[in-house]
Amino acid sequence: MKTKHCLFNIYFRVNFKNIIRSCFLFFSLFTFCFLSAAPNNTIMRNITSLQLVSEMGVGWNLGNTLDSHDAAASAGLVSETFWGNDYTTDAMLNRAQLMGFKSVRIPVTWYQHTGNGPTYTIDPAWLNRVQTVVDYAFNRGLYVIINMHHENAWTLPTTAYADQNQITTRINLVWKQIATKFQSYGDHLIFETLNEPGGFANETQGIELVNKYNLAAVATIRGTGQNNATRFIMIPTYGSNWRQKYLSALTFPQDASHIIVSVHAYYPYGFCEDDAAILTWGTPAEQTDLRNKIFIPLYNTFISKGRAVILGEFANNDKNDEIAREAHASFYVREAGLKQIHCLWWDDGTKTPGKWNSTFLERSNSASLVYTDYNLRVALINAANSTFPVKTIKTSDINIPQSNVVEKAFAYPNPVADKLNLQLKGGAAQISIFNYNGKEVYSSKTNNQVVDIDVANLNPGIYCIKVTSSGQIVTQKIIKK
């Protein structure tokens, strides 16, 4: 089994205390190395949606590229360049990985590349082009999300909603072709049914239709078989909106074990996106507002109930307010991580003078890729990795056979206040919990498959739970509130 290298940034002083600490880090990290690397393009693991999301780190959007479109222009492969970015290259995805991102969302617009009904056949050249770009990221061990992006022009029904069934049929036919193309790909590939589906004349009916579209697309994807039968699929709320009424209205399929909630949150809007000169952010009140408006509702509505959430788009635009942007991005990612929410930064790819943007990698010329906003990017990546101090570790440094990695253990809720529930593979198991300094603070043996551990007396902070069973080891980072 081919294993790619995993890189972690662990800065620590060389003293005895930190040697003990490095042992703690070892237990927490070696499982991530094996489970997050893409050793084989076809592997589908028996893991939960929360486990998958915990492996994805902070992510990056290949924005304004395969999603670019122009209804007034002829399509073809040139549409990839309509919005100012060059054709995507392998070097661009290499740069994304080198920047520290572990997952990539590749927005794709399909309507200009599909024929008319009743078959709505996707242009094979476009489908192959999408696959090429997916492979650039997938073959590097990155997690990859692909979707149906700017499709609102045809997914909005008429005022009387008489054509909703025809629209649903078209969604199904397009997704059937996409899903069939990628049906052999492993679980590092994730589908997202729609992007920001909203703008309906009647919002109540619109919410019902978005739920209908989601359920239909999921059923179609599942029906293509092979790895798609259990592939992780993201379904958006109405408009991919984060507000509570839209979260509460989201409908899940009967089998939701491999479903992930998709929302977007450029919050606060006045600071993140509005052209108005709101150039400051970071007071305690502003931090509390962001936490209470975005992360706590997502956690309470979904994650506390075992449903994963991916915040597929967030960013703050450049208005010559670098210090505030750094404060916002680092707080945003750190708070999301504490609530087990995966975030992907929206990168529009072009640094336009005098216009707001959120570019980390300027991609207007594939022969001359330019990093931008270095300090902001470092702040964001460091915040994502802030749970651990950092050092570079290779999987080759961790001499544990792949067969020794248990993939079925999962501790929840996380963060935890008092009672930690652990689902085990079954059979005799040794359970240990270590604090950040590497000290064992809990130890027990069990033969049960479901174990409850009282952690109410543990101090708030970061811990590592280690389970050993039949020569297999699994670790998981847990946060005690």
- CB-CB contact of 99 with 377 (8 Å): yes
| DSSP 8-class letter at 197 | -
Beta strands in 414-469 (DSSP E): 419-423, 429-435, 440-446, 450-454, 461-469
Burial of 299 (0-12, 13-18, 19+ CB in 10 A): buried
**Phi and psi at residue 21, in whole multiples of 5°?**
-65, -35
Q: Report the length, in residues, of the chain.
A: 481
Annotated catalytic residue: which of 55, 80, 192, 196? 196
CA-to-CA dists, residue 311 to 286, 348, 380, 401, angstroms:
20, 17, 15, 34
Rounded CA-CA distance 22/305 in Å is 33
- CB-CB contact of 98 with 140 (8 Å): no
For residue 157, cis peptide bond before it (omega within 30 degrees of 0): no
Task: Please give the single-letter amino acid code of residue 353.
Answer: P
Active site residue 80: no
How many CB atoms lie under 10 A from the CB of residue 437? 12
- CB-CB contact of 435 with 461 (8 Å): yes
Helix extents (H) in 47-198: 49-55, 90-98, 124-138, 152-155, 164-181
Distance between first and last Cα of the chain: 38
Rounded CA-CA distance 168/465 in Å is 45
Active site residue 196: yes
Q: Hey, what are 239's tokens?
A: 């408009």
CA-to-CA dists, residue 293 to 148, 285, 326, 440, angstroms:
27, 12, 20, 37
Residues 6+ apart with CB under 8 A from 361: 92, 95, 96, 99, 347, 349, 369, 370, 371, 372
Annotated catalytic residue: which of 192, 313, 326, 335? 313
Rounded CA-CA distance 268/357 in Å is 16
Measured in whole angstroms, how far is the alpha carbon of residue 227 from the centre of its chain?
19
3-state class (DSSP) for residue 477: strand
Residues classed as catalytic = 196, 313
